[in-house]
A and B are shown apart, each in its own frame.
Chain A
Amino acid sequence: MATEKTPPPLPGGGLAPRGPLAGHLAKAAMLALSAGIAAWAAWPLYEARNWIGLGLVAAVTGLVWWVYLSERRVPAKYLLPGLLLLTAFQVVPVVYTVATSATNHGDGHRGTKEEAIARIEASSVTRTADGREFALTIAAEGDSPSGELVFLLAGEDGEVYAGDAEGLTPLPGARTGPTGRVLDADGYTPLTAAQANGRGAEVSGLAVPTGDGAGIRAQGLSAAYEGRAARVYDDGCDCITDSETGTVYTADDERGVFAADGGERLSQGWRVGVGADNYARIAADPGIASAFLSILGWNTAFAAGTTLGVFVLGLAVALALHTPDRLRGRTLYRLLLVLPYAMPAFAMMLLWRDMFNADFGLVNRVLGTDTDWLGGTGTARAVALTVNIWLGFPYMFLICTGALQAIPRELVQAARLDGAGARQAFRHVTLPLLMVAVAPVLIATFAFNFNNFNAIWLTTEGGPFPPDSPTAGSTDLLITYTYRLAFGGQGAEYGYAAAVSVLIFLIVTLISYAGLRKSASLEEVNR
């Protein structure tokens, strides 16, 4: 980054003292710290032979030193710490999401083709008639419980083996317990039940090959048996043959699945690029397209309604308190009005939800009604808006109070002296000046509420759901709808959810950009 406004060089060039000793010491300490962190991060990467990771650590550390050792690049010195974190935890995830939106990533399409094949073969292992049985100890290679997964197997004949994806190795020195299970063995760390559970997917995915298509699989966490894979992959035809039924499943590299001639697919597939298919699906499927549009409509109304609601309510109370004559109880009003802002929002959302509960909610008891507030589209939407306005208006009240106080009183007085009524003075003097200050906040409020996941998830959970659309509820925002697609219930579809996210991103950015253009804050940037 080239600076145009660096300080003029001091006379004496590089030899002149450039600051007190403390500054130099602080700088030296920071650079030493960055080197320390780099070494700390590099060691396990080196142990894992992760050269890409090591390269990254070296590059980032190099960048830090390059920026801070130089006398120039002053703005970069101030921006770098925040920018590094921003890049790692915001930019990279966004880029990753955009990349995911062009794949079929989701349940059944997570890993590579090799992993899919291994999993299909392993899960088709059934116990053979003469298959051996073993007492199983799940362990990790090395001294750490996070090492490579290994099965320590004790056979009925007393033979002990270590088994991994490569095969069996005899383990003569292992100690076995009264149940016949291996207690410990040199070079391995037995896992506790909790640790083993935590790596459950690995445990059930591991099949120790014993030759001739047979393998050993875990049955639970303490037993294992030898069996034969019913489904076997053949490189030659790029297909999987089921030896029991004789069905041949051929790999479809475009869709990432093994499919039989009849169209039947194996549930385990792999991740492939699908180009713009996810986007095309939103546009092409009439069910999805109409759900998307109706959600978008309510979503916009929710964000706009919240913004308008908090602004009107916040401004109204700010105006009521903004008077030259001291209002009685002014400080108390102020304190009570900001209380909702100080309460923990997530808890208050859950609490409002319970207050509107049809069976034992407070609202029904106070009003003496029997309304199923969250059960009807109209009432549920009203509840969502009410709760959100309750949460948001104190902030807007604070903003408006500050903005009103910043407007010079002389301006209003001058207008009044020129013959403007109170209302006219407000409309033509106070309001425009107020908007200059408040407009950016309003835009931020809109953008925030457009994606206000908690406000819906913790109150209505997107419901009520019309009988004909179990996935798109009538208070769903695009983001809660996407969340359900990505993580909820059966069949997570990250690829598709990522595509919807990218669309949401474009929509919010466009709306906010249109708003920003009208606000004065743009000029700030160009100053």
Chain B
Amino acid sequence: MAATARPARRPARRTLDRLWRHALLLAVTAFALFPIVFVVSAALDPLGTLSGSQPLPVRVGPDNFERLLTETAYPRWYLNSLLLAVCNAAATVLLSALAAYAFSRFRFTGRRVGLYGLLVIQMFPQFLAIVAIYLMFSAVTELRPEIGFDTHWGLLLVYLGGALSINTWLMKGFFDTVPAELDEAARVDGASHAQLFFRILLPLVAPVLAIVGLLVFISTVNEFVMASVFLRDGDSKTVALGLYAMVADRRDADFGMFAAGTLLLALPVLAVFWYLQRHIAEGLTSGAVKG
């Protein structure tokens, strides 16, 4: 941290300043943690019912995790969710970065319309599109069952329809911050547009690639409506579908398993988060603020 130019503050005022900061942070942290502590305690409670659950763990045992992993298809759902989320995140980052490069570095007819179009199409309530997508994929399922209903390929395709979105704007903003002189220099050295993109620009915008990847990963893990239309077969289900069915049917009895499943699902997200955390703040805003 840079030292301030101001003279050192008086100790009393400084203490007061720290006091309100801590008070505020503690209050908000408590709000943030309240339901999470509850999930942890419900997951650890061997009784595993909603009505018997306590705010803090009183009984501790691995029973819920054991039941979840042996009695349900949770491991399978988990694998499905991770696979879908990783593939979607990787493909979305690539497609979006390609488009952002075009929007940032080239001037062409339809550029403005394209950029606004991307924003406007986001505003459309997607779920009604389900009727159309359902009809489309009913036909696809008959012709090519490999990418039809109950397959992850079909669902992935639909997800990738949303690859160009607000994320593309975020990336374009980041590309804009990379000076154009760099492009010129590379071109003088004989680099093609593809080399410029893959070798020079992509590494420079890595923070925004990380953040978009993370955002897409999280939203895919959470995606529910489209998955419920597509994956009707037990083996292809995602965690979101499996856990939802668990509390929809027998909410009270399976509550502990539900909580355990929620915690396990948070683990990969937390891991990715932890790994990317120094890129995150940078990736979210550098494109928008011109220092």
Contact = CB atoms under 8 A, between A and B. Distances in A.
B partners with A: yes
B73 interface: no
A447 B289 CA distance: 22
Contacts of B261: 347
Contacts, number: 314
Contacts of B14: 325
Contact of A92 (B96, B109, B132): B132
B153 interface: no
A100 interface: yes
Given A81-B95, A398-B281, A482 B128 contact: yes
Contacts of B53: 362
Contact of A512 (B25, B119, B132): B119
Interface stretch (A157-165, A166-174, A258-266, A494-502): A494-502
A483 B127 CA distance: 8
Interface in B118-133: 119-133
Contact of A486 (B21, B128, B193): B128
Contact of A75 (B51, B108, B240): B108
B250 interface: no
A357 B247 CA distance: 14
Given A317-B24, A325-B14, A347-B261, A85 B128 contact: no
B156 to A, nearest CB: 10
A413 B187 CA distance: 41
Given A7-B193, A320-B24, A83 B164 contact: yes
Contact of B280 (A76, A336, A398, A478): A398
Contacts of A438: 288
B62 to A, nearest CB: 20
Interface stretch (A240-248, A271-279, A377-385, A503-511): A503-511
A79 B125 contact: no
A93 B244 CA distance: 27
Contacts of A19: 192, 194-195
A275 to B, nearest CB: 19
B262 A343 contact: yes
A436 B158 CA distance: 33
A223 interface: no
Q: Chain A interface secondary structure, helix, strand, loop or mixed?
A: helix
Contacts of A92: 132, 136
Given A92-B132, A340-B32, A413-B5, A3 B107 contact: yes
Interface string B223-243: 011000000000000011001
Contact of A90 (B24, B51, B162, B173): B162
B3 A402 contact: no
B36 interface: yes
A454 B1 CA distance: 41
B163 interface: yes
B93 to A, nearest CB: 11
A527 interface: yes
Interface in A450-503: 451, 453-454, 478-479, 482-483, 486, 494, 497-498, 501
Contact of A348 (B35, B116, B133): B35
Contacts of A76: 102, 108
A3 B108 contact: yes
A339 B30 CA distance: 11
What 9 A-B pairs come out closest when comparing CB atoms?
A89-B161, A93-B129, A402-B281, A402-B285, A360-B51, A93-B132, A78-B102, A96-B132, A44-B143
